[in-house]
Amino acid sequence: MFSLKLEENLFYYGKVIKVELESTNVFLRGWYLIHIYDHPTKTRIDPSERGSINQSLIIPPIVTNNKGWIDGYFLTVDNIPVTNTDLSIDYGFWDIIPPINKAKPLACVITPCGFFLCRN
């Protein structure tokens, strides 16, 4: 579990769901799939209070590298296991680069669950 400080006296919490992602996109290989929960607090909560965190997501699942931790935006506050509920959340990402091999179409139509953009 990690905390994310958006502004003074505003913290959100997230969880790393998958590490070292595999992807056909070389730029995303080794990144992390994370969930950020809709549970703002005015102070960083103690890890013992983690059960009180609302498990609904504030944004769809996102992929990120370790820069959030390196730059101090994310702070690891606890190490908790990934649950079946975490893994059951459906997610998908649009690839804006056209596929090289169009001979492998998707097995079914995928409906996006939301859109989110992160810029440096």
Higher pLDDT, 53 or 4: 4
Q: Quick: pLDDT tens for 103-118.
A: 666 677 777 776 666 6
Q: Return the amino acid letter for 57.
A: L
Q: Quick: pLDDT tens for 66-97.
A: 999 999 889 998 888 888 888 888 777 766 66
| 112 SS3 class | coil
Residue 46 pLDDT grade (very low, low, confident, very high; cuts 50, 70, 90): confident
Which residue(s) pair with 18 in the sheet? 33
Q: Quick: pLDDT tens for 4-35.
A: 988 888 999 999 999 988 877 777 888 999 99
pLDDT of residue 118: 64
SS3 sequence of 8-62: CCEEEEEEEEECCCCCCCCCCCCCEEEEEEEEEECCCCCHHHHHHCCCCECCCCE
Q: Say yes or no to pLDDT of 53 above 60.
A: yes
Which residue(s) pair with 41 in the sheet? 11
Of the candidates 54, 74, 76, 65, the one whose C-alpha atom is nearest the C-alpha of residue 1 is: 76
Give the tokens for residue 71.
């730059």
The single residue listed with the structure tokens 């799939």 is 33
Query: pTM of this prediction?
Result: 0.69
- Rounded-to-integer distance, Cα 1 and Cα 97, Å: 32
Of the candidates 83, 73, 113, 70, the one whose C-alpha atom is nearest the C-alpha of residue 16 is: 83
pLDDT of residue 64: 92
